[in-house]
Structures are given as structure tokens and as C-alpha cells.
């Protein structure tokens, strides 16, 4: 079996790349993934936030372009410009946020700085303990989106262009060969061995897919078969699992998978529907680290537990997480949340890098290996631009409309080149 471009990972970045390659007329594109349904995909398990208010041009530009794309298809993607409100109780961090506001607004983001009293008057739902804050920012062009709908759109566009998606395929081995080009001796990925695991429902009682995703052992049974793909180009889009493939080709990878948990909350107040309508709230990022937004009749709330150990962990801590981490922070900021109930929740993975920015570009030492992964929770909001940028690099050898040069993995060898982002959640 042969692939012109083999994409490892059918999450939102890999699927966006596949769609962009199809748009360019590239034939024989193959996407392999163990979980194309997205049951454990990071992009399917996130809170649905989409923002461009970052601190580095490459992240601002790629997110801005992706949000414009979402706006063009707002009805299909469920995209609504409801804004992001950030609340600060740390004077130093707020000063840093103010220092990048001019850069953000040169990119047309329209970020406003608010005094705590201004935030209280504009968003009356937030009526508790605002005196402890030093300031706030509001970015009206940011909003909320349905990641599932976005990824489904990318896949539809890719398949219309002839891209093949291979579900339940796990990379088992890689064969490389030495080549010599103008830049000297390099390696080239010649073949990739994948295992097609047994068929059945992704969420079956045996938990086979989950076992492979968390333990990285492929069950060898009657339904297992090996497939070898020769390939002209290979792109690692495996997100939190990117390091597993990198290790197979001897490339060090700084990515760590870290669990993030989200709760769906029921507000036990007869006034909640009217209060929600008046609130004007989109995504709120509280000074405590809690983030939340209205989700239908409920509140969707997440919190990144400090010092969470890296690992492939999908266990949701349930009512304990809600009672200890979510509810107290909600009630601390708004009296409407004094009486809340835990509906349900889930856990997914962030692919975290040392500077909390993604890794993208050509992999040094290889003539045909590329990567786009580890966007630390913002793969959805960068997906359109990153897909188009990588498609240009793979097909022409250079970037055109979006330059992802600052995201090359070589930056980690020089801390002054890190694309450090602090306002991640």
C-alpha cells in the first residue's frame, strides 16, 4: 500500500491538514488513527472555547484566521462571538496582559481593559468578591464553537477530495533509509507498519481501544492484521501521543500528555434562565484558574489541577472534583451559583510543551518527515491555519500565507526562542 502523504492522527489538526491537501489537489493522501470516532480525541473533549487573544504573533495570527473561518460557517459550526472575559488578581500578570494588548489590537482583536467595577457593571451575574481583582480584559471577537462539527467538516472536505481515512490503525513500526541531498546526508521515512486492531464499537465493554491508547500495547488476536505503507511524506499529527511515534524514529519529543477535567453543572435557581440571558457571558476565565461558560441550561466549567502528573489518564474524578474544585470557585464569584448540582463530567488530554505552544514544521534530519501537534489545548482554534500552512510546506517546501517557522522544534535548544504562552487554561 502506498501513500503520497501519510498523516498519523485523525484529530482536528490531522483532518484539517488532510482537507487542505485535498484542496490543493494532492492525491493518495491517507490518514490513520486508532479512534477516528473521536471518543478519546482531545479536540472532542475540550470546552469549545475559541480565541485569538494570545501573546505571540504566530499564535494570534493562526487563531485569528481560524476564527474568521469559523465565522464564515458560523451556523454549521455553532460559532458565536460571545467573547472571553479574563479576571486578574495578580498585578504582575495583569501588567503583562496590558503589555501585549497593543500587539493584539494591531491584529484587530479589539481587546478592552476593564476595571473591576466596569466588569461588575457590564456582567452583573459576577457579583461576588470583585474587590479582590486588579483588573480584567474582554476580547469580543473570541467565542465558542462546536469542535465536533468543525472536525466533521474538515473530514467531509477531505473525503470529497479523495483522502482515505483508516480507522483502528496503530503505528507499530517505521523503516527509514539514508539519503543524500543538497543539505548532506539525511534519513527518509520509507515505510510505516500499522496494525489494524479488531473491529467493534470504540466504547465496547472490553475497552480495547482505550487500552491501546493508554498502555500502547496492540492486542494480537484473530482480528489483527499488519499493513505496510510506503510513503513519500509523513506528518505526525498525533497530539498527546506524538512522542510515541517520535521515539520510533529516534527523535526526542518534549510533549507530555496531561489530564484536564470538565464538569457540567446544573444551576438550582429559578432565576437562572433570566440571569443567563442578561449575563452576556461567553467564556469567563476566573482569577482562581476556573473557566466556565453557559452551556444550554447548564454551566460548563473546567479547572486545571495544579501539579497534575503527566500520563494517559482519562478517569474523571466525578463528584469529588466538582465539590472540591468547581463549585467553591463558581460560588465565590457569583451568588447565582450558590446552589449548584453536578450533572456529569469527563476528562481529556492536553499535549503540553515546555513553552505551551505547538510544535510544527519539518523534522530536522529527515527529508520527508513533518509534524503538527501539541498545541496545549488550542488545536481547535488554530486548526484551519495550521492545516493550510503544513499543506503548503509539504507540497512546496515552504510556507505561504501562514508562517509557522517560530513553532519549529529546534526552538527548544535556545530558551530565548521559546514561544512562551502564559494565559493557557
- Beta strand pairing call for 369-373 and 225-236: parallel
Residue in the block written with cell 475540550: 46
Distances (CA, A) of 157 to 15, 160, 373: 9, 5, 21
The C-alpha cell of 301 is what?
466549567
Q: What whole-number distance in Å separates Cα of residue 100 and Cα of residue 137?
A: 12
Question: What's the whole-number mean pLDDT along residues 374-382?
Answer: 95
The residue from 352, 377, 406 where one domain ends is 352
C-alpha grid cell, residue 354: 515546555
Distance between CA atoms of residues 249 and 424, nearest Å: 30
Domain co-membership, 364 together with 249: yes
Whether residues 337 and 227 fall in one domain: no
Overall domain count for the chain: 2
Last residue within a domain, chosen from 315, 332, 352: 352
Residue 226 has pLDDT above 60, yes or no: yes
pLDDT score recorded for residue 63: 98
Does residue 212 sit in the same domain as residue 249? Answer: yes
Q: Is residue 346 part of a domain?
A: yes
Do the Cβ atoms of 264 and 300 come closer than 8 Å? yes
Higher pLDDT, 400 or 207: 400
92-119 pLDDT, tens digit each = 999 999 999 999 999 999 999 999 999 9
- Tell me the pLDDT band of 224, cut-offs 50, 70 and 90: low
158 shares a domain with 39: yes
Strand 225-236, strand 184-196: pairing:
antiparallel
**115 lies in some domain:** yes
Residues 248 and 153 in one domain: yes
Domain around 233: 2-45+148-254+356-417
Task: State mean pLDDT over 251-278.
Answer: 86
DSSP letter at 322 equals I
Residue 56 within a domain: no
Q: How many CA atoms lie within 13 A of 229 on its CB side?
A: 26
Over the stretch 174-214, which tens digit does the pLDDT of each residue have? 999 998 766 678 999 999 999 888 665 555 545 678 888 89
Q: Mean pLDDT of all residues in the chain? A: 92
The model's confidence at residue 54, banded by pLDDT at 50, 70 and 90, is very high
Are both 137 and 169 inside the same structural domain?
A: no
| Spatial distance between the Cα atoms of 169 and 194, rounded to a whole number of angstroms | 6
In a domain, 309, yes or no: yes
Residue whose C-alpha is closest to residue 369's, from 245, 195, 254, 216: 245
205: which 3 cell numbers?
A: 465493554
Amino acid at each position: 500500500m502506498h501513500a503520497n502523504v501519510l498523516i498519523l492522527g485523525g484529530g482536528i489538526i490531522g483532518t484539517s491538514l488532510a482537507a487542505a491537501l485535498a484542496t490543493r489537489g494532492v492525491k493518495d493522501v491517507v490518514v490513520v488513527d486508532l479512534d477516528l470516532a473521536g471518543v478519546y480525541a482531545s479536540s472532542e473533549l475540550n470546552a469549545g472555547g475559541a480565541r485569538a487573544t494570545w501573546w505571540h504573533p504566530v499564535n494570534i495570527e493562526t487563531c485569528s484566521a481560524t476564527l474568521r473561518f469559523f465565522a464564515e460557517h458560523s451556523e454549521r459550526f455553532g460559532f458565536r462571538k460571545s467573547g472571553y472575559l479574563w479576571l486578574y488578581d495578580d498585578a504582575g500578570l495583569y501588567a503583562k496582559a496590558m503589555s501585549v494588548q497593543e500587539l493584539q489590537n494591531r491584529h484587530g482583536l479589539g481587546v478592552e481593559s476593564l476595571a473591576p467595577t466596569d466588569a461588575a457593571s457590564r456582567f452583573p451575574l459576577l457579583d461576588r468578591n470583585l474587590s479582590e481583582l486588579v483588573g480584567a480584559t474582554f476580547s469580543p471577537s473570541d467565542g465558542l464553537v462546536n469542535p465536533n462539527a468543525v472536525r466533521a467538516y474538515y473530514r467531509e472536505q477531505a473525503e470529497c477530495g479523495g483522502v482515505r481515512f483508516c480507522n483502528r490503525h496503530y503505528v507499530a513500526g517505521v523503516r527509514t533509509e539514508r539519503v543524500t541531498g543538497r543539505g548532506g546526508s539525511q534519513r527518509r521515512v520509507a515505510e510505516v507498519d500499522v496494525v489494524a486492531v479488531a473491529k467493534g464499537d470504540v466504547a465496547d465493554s472490553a475497552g480495547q481501544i482505550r487500552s491501546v491508547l493508554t498502555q500502547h500495547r496492540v492486542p494480537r488476536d484473530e482480528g489483527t492484521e499488519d499493513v505496510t505503507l510506503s510513503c513519500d511524506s509523513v506528518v505526525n499529527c498525533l497530539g498527546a501521543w506524538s512522542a510515541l511515534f517520535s521515539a520510533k524514529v529516534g527523535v526526542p519529543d518534549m510533549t507530555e500528555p496531561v489530564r484536564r477535567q470538565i464538569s457540567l453543572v446544573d444551576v438550582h435557581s429559578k432565576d437562572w434562565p433570566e440571569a443567563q440571558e442578561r449575563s452576556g457571558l461567553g467564556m469567563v476565565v476566573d482569577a482562581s484558574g476556573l473557566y466556565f461558560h453557559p452551556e444550554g441550561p447548564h454551566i460548563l466549567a473546567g479547572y486545571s489541577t495544579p501539579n497534575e502528573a503527566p500520563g494517559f489518564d482519562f478517569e474523571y474524578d466525578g463528584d469529588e472534583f466538582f465539590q472540591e474544585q468547581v463549585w467553591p470557585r463558581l460560588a465565590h464569584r457569583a451568588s447565582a451559583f450558590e446552589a449548584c448540582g453536578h450533572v456529569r463530567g469527563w476528562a481529556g488530554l492536553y499535549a503540553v510543551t515546555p513553552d505551551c505552544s505547538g510544535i510544527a514544521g519539518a523534522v530536522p534530519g529527515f527529508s520527508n518527515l513533518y509534524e503538527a501537534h501539541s498545541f496545549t489545548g488550542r488545536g481547535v482554534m488554530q486548526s484551519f491555519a495550521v492545516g493550510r500552512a503544513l499543506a503548503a510546506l509539504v507540497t512546496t517546501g515552504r510556507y505561504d500565507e501562514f508562517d509557522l517557522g517560530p513553532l519549529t522544534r529546534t526552538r527548544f535548544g535556545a530558551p530565548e526562542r521559546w514561544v512562551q504562552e502564559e494565559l493557557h487554561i
